[in-house]
Chain A
Amino acid sequence: MIPDPSWPPGPLRFLAPLLRATVIFMADGVQVAASDEAILVARLRQGEASAFEELVRGHAPPMLAVCRRLLRNHEQDAQDALQDAFVSVFKAIGSFEGGARLSTWLHRIAVNAALMKLRAKRRRPERGIEDLLPRFGEDGHYLEPPAPWDDRVEAAETRAIVREAIDRLPEGYRTALLLRDIEELSNEQAAEVLGITPNALKIRVHRAHQALRTLLDGRFREAHQ
């Protein structure tokens, strides 16, 4: 293995014992975990092979889960995206800022890799969302009045139904909803990743919620007696 010449080993050798000392004296569990992370980052920057293996084994599972969600469970695409994500991680670990959590940084890289894969695969023009939005008459009244939903649907079954409905949303709306509600990015972060304004992002998420509601309505609407 050829060590990357861009690593600045001097300052990191100085940092490593300091970080270890931090671990010993911190009583708070969260801070200990954060310091463990700092040690791992320092080892990664020094090019320790075992540190890379630790990184991949420890952090790949949630990253693969993100790729699977965004790529609609296409396993090969998700695995390709994960590989792309780690290529980016290995390139950029030298510039990783200690201020952010490592897991947050890795999550963002996985999101970006999955979205790149998604864009590369998109061929058909996107289906509109209009026919999934509520319709109103000229006076602003519902053309199909809403009705309450039944509560008695078993949880595991419900999750499968909802995932399937999310998969049926037009792509731009599906990704906006996943990034904001599932991957828990802020409006600003999700907007940045998708290359749209925060306001456009908010509108997309709202439309996605409305469309998802329409798709679920047929399954959950209370039966009329």
Chain B
Amino acid sequence: MTCSEFTEFLDAYLAGDISPAERDEFKRHLAACKQCVDYLATYERTVKLGKDAFEEPGCDVADKVPEDLVKAILAARNRK
């Protein structure tokens, strides 16, 4: 397995979406390749950072709906 192949099937590997034989091949490559260890670690961190990026604790003000907009939505229903 080359580094190029390793990165190509990374998502499938992380999702457990590969056969046990392919999994062994991934593990063997990782044991021998520091660069892919670094790539895997930073890739996983990227996915996690992406998932956390929109979580703003205690920041519900940003999600407030302007009163004008609520009124406009309800008025649109009454017009139908």
Seen from chain A, the residues whose Cβ lies within 8 Å of a Cβ on chain B are 1, 4, 49, 52-53, 56-57, 60-62, 64-65, 68-69, 79, 82-83, 86-87, 90, 134, 136, 139-142, 145-149, 158-159, 162-163, 166, 177, 181-182, 202, 205-206, 209-210, 212-213, 216-217, 220
The interface residues of chain A lying within 8 Å CB-to-CB of B47 are: 181, 209
Q: Of A57, A61, A69, A206, which contacts B54 at CB under 8 A?
A: A69
Whether A162 contacts B50 by the Cβ 8 Å rule is: yes
Q: Which B residues between 1 and 52 are near A, CB-CB below 8 angstroms?
A: 2-5, 7, 10-12, 35-36, 38-39, 41-43, 45-47, 49-52
Whether A205 contacts B46 by the Cβ 8 Å rule is: no
Q: Of B38, B46, B56, B64, which contacts A216 at CB under 8 A?
A: B46
Q: Is the interface of A mostly helix, strand, loop or mixed?
A: helix
Q: Chain B, 49-80, contact with A by CB distance < 8 Å: what is the 0/1 string? A: 11111111000101111100110111011101
Q: Of A83, A141, A182, A209, which contacts B11 at CB under 8 A?
A: A209
Whether B63 contacts A64 by the Cβ 8 Å rule is: yes
A212 CB, min distance to chain B CBs, angstroms: 5
Q: A139-B2, A140-B2 are in contact. Are A146 and B73 (CB under 8 A)?
A: no
The interface residues of chain A lying within 8 Å CB-to-CB of B72 are: 83
Whether A149 contacts B45 by the Cβ 8 Å rule is: yes
The interface residues of chain B lying within 8 Å CB-to-CB of A52 are: 74, 77
